[in-house]
Chains A and B, each alone.
Chain A
Amino acid sequence: MSKEIVVVKDLKKWFDTDEGIVRAVDDISFTINEGETFGLVGESGSGKSTTAYTLMGIYTPTAGEISYKGMDISMGIKQRPLSLKKEMQMVFQDPGSSLNPKRSIEQIIELPLQVHGIAKDERRKRVIELLQMVELPEDYLDRQPTKIGGGEKQMVAIARALATNPTFVTLDEPTSALDVSMQAKIINKLIEFQETLDLSYLFITHNLSLMRNVATRVGIMYLGKLCEVAPTGTFFSKPLHPYTKMLLSSIPVITREEEAVKPDKVVSMGEIPSPVNVPSGCYFHPRCNECTERCKREDPPMVEVEPGHFVKCHTLSE
């Protein structure tokens, strides 16, 4: 059993808006082990990015606990110690907006080093080293981010995240804004860095095929709640939650072999409801084809059906 690096317990993040309270993240618990990639999937609006932002401290949790290596970090970014920010880093979804267009690539990658008190001449050496790691030419130092391609921007963002030798990196849809050829390159680099630099990842995406290739364990979110958490192999071969089955059966496939491993076709119904006005009982019941009377009344608990495989559904607790 590997050591836990991040533990999230009963985490809630609600937003008070004009339309009412948005339950973006509602009572979720999961752990991330050292050296693994924990994948979070879900439709848009399911709360996976909010989970990442709350974990990183950009949002202050409404309730619940987050701990990192046993240290309580359930607070906003401003209250967290500086030493922690050296260890926890993040790569954002849109590389176009994650690099300041008014600063040079060197200034951008240098910032974390500057903040954590590295001397000037050493910073430059480290920036060049980082550029080599992400396979960008040295003369990019003086360039503005507006003058380089989307994939290259994301490489710069990764270099910035790795600058302080972190142990944990949150990747919020790192490839969704890029074209396919770039996606493969970025993913390969990320996997390579994980092995050579001993990193743990929280990997967020809505791309299930990608998840299958990178994640060690996968959690699936629906309306701010985790429905199912399982090791990647089990998750794709033996999904138990009706929502997981629905999503997996909706992946388009080309070959017959792929078709064979897919779960039976489940017709997907409806769309994700508004997180302001959540359904009663199990949040998923209006779209579920195994829905019973009980589902409409009671919210099911999360149960461990086999070691490491958690499911939140009434069909399994009976």
Chain B
Amino acid sequence: MNTELMKERWRRNWYKFSRNPLSILGLAVVLAIILIAIFADFFAPYPEHAFVFVDFKNAKRPPCWQYLCGTDMAGRDILSRIFFGFRYSLVMAVSVLSVATPPGVLLGLVAGYMRDTWVDIAIMRVADVFLSVPSMVLALAVCSMLEPTLYNAMLAVTVMWWPWYTRLVYGAASSIKNEYFVQAAEVTGASTFHILFGEIFPNCLSTIFTKMTLDVGWVILIGSTLSFVGLGAQPPTPDLGTMVSDGSKYIPAQWWISLFPALFIVVIILGFNLLGDGVRDMLAGD
């Protein structure tokens, strides 16, 4: 691929992406969150407050210039803990999606290409079983069977997440399979492996990417929910869900302890959704 064409393609993609100002806002929010998560030690006003730290003199302080989001019951700066919380949220999202997507996509490709054979029926009925159980219930079941840790929460979310990709790719693959270019590859004798990964898969990529971007927010939400009910990250881990749960006992008097972590969960999800919409616009009709 020569550089001229490459540049041209980037320019066009950026044009399509930036037509909607909300996409740019989403991109900015996501970039900011990623930067803050990576350099949390540097951005947080009190990095030492992230884990175990006690300062009862300054406990339950409302938002002020010294503590922008106030302090919690142990006197830890809430904003600092939120910044560290981004780290856990992003790690959760990235690891869940990078583990759930490949098998989900692979199964969807195979089932879609072998549509109406026993392979298709076997794969899709199993996926249907997973999809028919409400995702939260499934995650709660897995989490309550295992020890409540962040890793088990990730495992639980992964188990419920792959069928969505299977179904998404199944739909795409079973329609692409009827395109003449797939038939041309069959006529010429190309292997099933080539047809799946060389012909069908590249045409599913844009759909997969869009869904992944949109899913980051949802995975974070589910992860936070698990932490909120005590089945995810355990204190003193600065997880946003755990923080909301810890602070809920002090509502309404010390509202800031729960409110600010909750608000930032909303910001993360909103950011990734806006970005996802932009990615969809960019990849549509390409």
Which A residues contact B (CB, under 8 angstroms)? 56-58, 77, 82, 85-86, 88-90, 92-94, 97-104, 111-112, 115-116, 142, 157, 160, 164
Contact = CB atoms under 8 A, between A and B. Distances in A.
Contact of A115 (B2, B181, B190): B190
Given A100-B199, A100-B203, A142-B2, A92 B180 contact: yes
A89 B190 CA distance: 13
A183 B202 CA distance: 31
Given A100-B202, A142-B2, A89 B188 contact: yes
A102 B172 CA distance: 15
A181 B154 CA distance: 61
Given A101-B203, A102-B202, A142-B2, A92 B188 contact: no
Contacts of A88: 187
A100 B187 contact: no
Interface in B176-229: 179-181, 183-191, 194, 198-199, 202-203, 205
16 contacts: A57-B187, A58-B186, A77-B186, A86-B189, A90-B183, A92-B183, A92-B184, A94-B180, A97-B181, A100-B181, A103-B198, A111-B188, A111-B190, A111-B198, A115-B194, A157-B184
A115 B188 contact: yes
Contacts of B122: none
Interface range, B side: 20 to 34
A142 B5 contact: yes
Contacts of A57: 187
Nearest to A91: B184
A160 B190 CA distance: 13
Contacts of A157: 184
B181 A116 contact: no
Contacts of B181: 97-100
Contacts of B1: 104, 142
A167 B42 CA distance: 70
A94 B179 CA distance: 10
B203 A97 contact: no
A59 B5 CA distance: 39
Dominant SS among interface residues on chain A: mixed
Nearest to A84: B189
Contacts of A99: 181
Contacts of A82: 189
A103 to B, nearest CB: 7
A193 B83 CA distance: 68
B208 to A, nearest CB: 13
Given A98-B180, A98-B181, A142-B1, A89 B187 contact: yes
A85 B187 contact: yes
B108 to A, nearest CB: 17
B285 to A, nearest CB: 10
Nearest to B188: A112
Nearest to B178: A97
Contacts of B179: 97-98, 100
5 smallest beta-carbon distances between A and B, as pairs: A85-B189, A102-B202, A98-B180, A92-B180, A112-B188
